[in-house]
Chain A
C-alpha cells in the first residue's frame, strides 16, 4: 500500500476544500465550499435541514460514491492528497477516515467481533484481545460490557450501541472520525456521555461532527461551520456555508445576520 494517499505529506490541516460543488445528477446540492479543517480539533457543521451538512461530511470519506448520480467539481485535499484524484482508491480512504452514523448500526455480531471487524479487514496481526479492550476503553464502554464481550452488539441499549460504533471506528486507528448526527437517536444522558467522549477522542483524532443540536456544537466544537440553504426558481434547494469560524465567534459575535438569527433560535 504505497499509493499517493500513503505517501501524502502530513499537514496540520486535515481537510481543505477548494470551491467544492456537489451534484446529484444535474442538481446542485451544495455550492462553493472552501474550508479548512485543522488537526486534533472538533469541527461542527450546523444548519437547517437539507442544507447539505451530511452531504459534505460524506464527501470526506467518499461514502457518497455509493450513490451513482453523485459527482463533484472543485477539490478536496486530505493532507496534501487530492481525495478525488483518479488514482485514489475510495476503500483505502475509508480505512483512514472512520465514520459514526446517525442511527447506531452495530453489526449483528458479538461485541468483540464488531470491534475486531475493521482490524481483521486490515489484516491486523497483533493482540486482538488487547486492541478490543483498548478500543472499548477509548469509547468509555469497557466497564459496561467487559463481562459480556460475546453478547450481541445489537442487544445493547441505544447509547451503548452508539459508543460501540465509536469503538469500532476507533479500533482501526483512523486519522479522522466523521460523525453524522451521532446523538440524534440518543437520550440526554447518553448524549452527554458521547460529548464527554468527544473531548477525550480529540487528543488522538480529528473529529468532524454534523449536529442539529446547537448546544452540542457550542459545548463541544472548537470550530463551527454554519450552513444555510437557498431555493432557486425551480424549488431546488442548494446548500452553502454562510459562515465558518471559531465556535465562540459563531455563537457570540457572528458577522452575518443570518448566522446570528440561526444561533439565537430565530429560524431553522
Chain B
C-alpha cells in the first residue's frame, strides 16, 4: 500500500497514490461491468445483421412455418421453436417439484450435517457432468428404458394427443427427460441457498405461534424464499432452452412437426444450429442466424417474465 508517515499513530494521511488507486479501482470495475454489456450488445447486433437477408425474405412468417428445405431455399423455424418450448416445459414439469423437494429436504435438519453435506455436494456434481456425456447416456441407457414405457403409453392412452404416436426411440420426451436431469441441480442448489438464507427468526416466529414444521415450511419459509426459487427456475429454463449437445443426440432431429405427440421425434433451435451450421451457406446461414436470434429473444422473454414475477410476488408475500 501507499507509504505513510509512521512518526505518530494519529498523523496517518492518505497519500495521492492511495487515492488514485481507489479511483482507479472504481474505473476498472466500471469498465468490466460495461464490458459485459458491450459484448452482449455486439453479439446481438452481429447475429441480427447476419440474419438480415432471412428476416427480409421470410419476415415473421419464419416463426409460423415448419418447413426447412435447403434445396428450395424455404426456411421456417416453427418446428424448432415448438420443440424448444415443449422440451423445456417437460423438463421444468419434472425438475421443479423434485428440485424444490430436494432443496427443502436438504435445508431442514432432517439429516445430520455429516450426511447432508456430501449429498449437497453430489447434487452439485450433477451439474458438472459434460452434456455430451448426458447425451451418450441418453442414447445407450435412457432411451432403451423409456421406449417400452412410451409404447405402452401409446397403446393404452393413444387417444390422448401427447401420446398419439408410437415412439421410434429418440424423441421430444427423451430430450425433455434428459434436460430435467441436467437442470435439476441448478434448481435444487439455488432453491436450497434461498431456503437456507431465510432468517431463523422467521422460523422461530412461526414455531412460537404454534405452527407445525409443515405449516412453517409452506406458509413462511417457502414464501420468504419465493423470489430466489423463481430465480433458480428461470436460470434452469434458460439452460434448458439453450442446451445443445445432449438434446441433439436424443431428440431425433426432424425438420417438420410430425404430430402433437411428445413421443414423436422433433428438433430444437439449438439442435438445428448444431446440425446445420457446418455445411450451411447463403440464405441458409442467414436463416440459422435468424433462428439464433429467436432463441436469444426467447431467453430474454423468460428473464423479463422472471423479473416481473419476482417483483410482483415479493410485494404480495
Contact = CB atoms under 8 A, between A and B. Distances in A.
Contact of B211 (A98, A121, A165): A121
Nearest to B209: A118
B282 interface: no
B223 A109 contact: yes
Given A68-B109, A121-B215, A165 B205 contact: yes
A25 interface: no
A66 B210 contact: no
A234 to B, nearest CB: 25
Given A95-B209, A117-B209, A121-B209, A101 B215 contact: no
A121 B199 contact: no
A178 B314 CA distance: 31
Contact of A107 (B202, B215, B314): B202
A105 B210 contact: no
In this complex, the interface size class of chain B, counting residues with CB under 8 Å from chain A, is: 20 to 34
B204 A94 contact: no
Contact of A94 (B208, B223, B224, B317): B208
A172 B209 contact: yes
B202 A91 contact: no
A101 B204 contact: yes
Interface string B279-317: 000000000000000000000000000000000001101
B112 to A, nearest CB: 9
In this complex, the interface size class of chain A, counting residues with CB under 8 Å from chain B, is: 20 to 34
Contact of A109 (B109, B204, B215, B317): B317
Contact of A105 (B204, B211, B317): B204
Nearest to B205: A105
Contacts of A99: 204, 208
A92 interface: yes
Interface string B196-240: 000101101111111110010001100110000000000000000
A105 B207 contact: no
Nearest to B317: A108
Interface string A159-195: 0000001001100100000000000000000000000
Contacts of A96: 210
Nearest to A61: B208
Interface SS of B by simple majority: helix
A101 B205 contact: yes
B89 to A, nearest CB: 30
A168 B209 contact: yes
A94 B201 contact: no
A105 B201 contact: yes
Contacts of B109: 68
A89 to B, nearest CB: 9
Contact of A169 (B207, B209, B212): B209
A117 B215 CA distance: 10
B224 A108 contact: yes
Nearest to A92: B210
Contacts of A108: 202, 223-224, 314, 317
A63 B209 contact: no
Contacts of B202: 105, 107-108
A101 B202 CA distance: 10
A122 interface: yes
Nearest to B112: A68
Nearest to B220: A107
Contacts of B220: 107
Given A108-B224, A109-B223, A121-B215, A98 B209 contact: yes
Given A118-B210, A121-B211, 8 more contacts: A61-B208, A98-B208, A99-B204, A101-B204, A101-B205, A105-B199, A107-B220, A108-B314
The 7 closest A-B pairs by CB, nearest first: A95-B210, A105-B201, A99-B208, A94-B210, A118-B209, A105-B205, A108-B317
12 contacts: A66-B207, A95-B209, A95-B210, A98-B208, A99-B208, A101-B208, A105-B201, A107-B206, A108-B317, A109-B223, A152-B315, A168-B205
